């Protein structure tokens, strides 16, 4: 069994259901709202817009990032609504995983024609 596979399967199912309803074309924030609603309906615990502080050589910096969603304290979700997923989007997911200490991440692009084409799963 893959690390976090059971949770990621549920998340992907939720993302597919969200994508089916309005389809592509909404803003990322709308998909985040819909996805979190769907995760809640499925009984999954999640946190939205989680602060991700940044430090450099042990010094806390005044800048930070935000993780879109963390599900069950184990799976990081980076949501997009873009024409196509670029290498920089995947790099962002990997960086957020490394900085957060989480091991499993999903990049979900809701602007894909079919949701399955818009899913990137990474494990660090």
Computed over every residue of the chain, the mean pLDDT equals: 94
Confidence of residue 22 (pLDDT cuts 50, 70, 90): confident
Our count of domains for the chain comes to 1
Q: Which domain holds residue 94?
A: 5-123
Instruction: Answer for the pair 45, 66: CB distance below 8 angstroms, yes or no.
Output: no
**pLDDT value at 111 more than 60:** yes
Which pTM value belongs to this model?
Answer: 0.92
Q: Which residues contact 33 (CB under 8 A, 6 or more apart)?
A: none
Look at residue 1 in the predicted model and tell me its pLDDT: 45
Q: Give mean pLDDT, residues 28-44.
A: 97
Could you tell me the CATH number of the domain that includes residue 103? 3.40.1350
Confidence of residue 31 (pLDDT cuts 50, 70, 90): very high
C-alpha pair distances (Å), 71 with each of 42, 48, 61, 68, 104: 12, 9, 26, 10, 10
């Amino acid at each position: 069994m893959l690390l976090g596979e059971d949770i990621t399967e549920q998340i992907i199912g939720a993302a597919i259901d969200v994508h089916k309803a309005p389809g592509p074309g909404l803003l990322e924030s709308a998909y985040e709202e819909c996805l979190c609603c769907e995760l809640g309906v499925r009984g999954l615990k999640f946190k939205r817009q989680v602060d991700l502080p940044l430090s450099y050589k042990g010094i806390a910096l005044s800048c930070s990032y935000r993780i879109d969603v963390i599900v069950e304290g184990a799976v990081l979700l980076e949501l997009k609504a873009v024409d196509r997923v670029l290498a920089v989007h995947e790099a962002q997911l990997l960086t957020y995983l490394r900085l957060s200490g989480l091991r499993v991440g999903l990049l979900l692009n809701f602007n894909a024609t079919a949701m399955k084409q818009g899913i990137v799963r990474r494990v660090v």
